[in-house]
Amino acid sequence: MPKRGKKYLTARENVDTLKRHEFAEGVQVALDASYAKFDETVDLAVNLGVDPRHADQMVRGSVVLPNGLGKEVKVLVFAKGEKETEAKEAGADFVGNEDLVEKIQGGWFGFDKAVATPDMMGTVGKIGRLLGPRGLMPNAKTGTVTFDVTRAINELKAGKIDFRVEKTGIVHAPMGKVSFGADKLLQNMAAFLETLMRLKPAASKGTYMKAIAVSTTMGPGIKIDTGLVKDLIK
């Protein structure tokens, strides 16, 4: 178990980490427990009643958070011809094809998200082993392999996040920054959880959302009452 610092231990002592809070209260407790000098990210962890080892229980998707993530997202687009021009006009930070592939093969990863037109996937596949582990590989299921590059760029710039259930059945996702305040964070959480509910696999039996916890980058996890998810979404 990693050794915790004094500030973390103090923050943890001041909160009831066993109590299951309602959303607004839980988010505020997490914000009050924030102690870092930088603007920490607020994360949501949801333990799902699924077994990701079975393909029919895999949960994966994306959602545009209404209040974004609170940071500039640098978008790279693999495209050629008219779509390359369209991507530049739409505000992509980096646009190209073979030149970008070579640059990435050389060790450059100065971007946060990647988009590719379908006709470029053969080329992008050459660096799949480099992009995949970093979560940067364009994927049709998350809308980043598309000819509608303008829409893809706009969504990513606006705060679109991709998520996927881990082997342990937990989904982790950023909800914004501490500086957002509780209201904006709750709006982002509602959008995320609504999408997560909609993606419930038919093969998932019993309780779908088993546990939820909210935390800041450096702070302790605050448990949330899963029975209140539908109320938050409303």
Low-confidence ranges of the chain (pLDDT < 50): 1
The dihedrals phi and psi of 145, each to the nearest 5 degrees, come to -115, 100
Which residues in the chain are classed under CATH 3.40.50.790? 75-158
Task: Give the pair of three-digit tokens for residue 182.
Answer: 């509780």
Which residues in the chain are classed under CATH 3.30.190.20? 15-69+160-233
72 Cβ partners below 8 Å, 6+ apart? none
* CA angle at 202 for the pair 201 and 208, rounded to the nearest 5°: 60
SS3 percent helix, strand, coil of the chain, rounded to 5, is 40, 20, 40
Asked whether the beta carbons of 171 and 45 are under 8 A apart, the reply is yes
Rounded to two decimals, what is the model's pTM?
0.82
Q: Does CATH place domain 75-158 in 3.10.450.50?
A: no
E strands in the chain: 41-48, 60-64, 75-78, 94-96, 113-116, 160-164, 170-177, 209-216, 222-224
CATH class of the domain comprising 15-69+160-233: alpha beta
pLDDT in tens, 71-120: 889 999 999 999 999 999 999 999 999 999 999 999 999 999 999 999 99
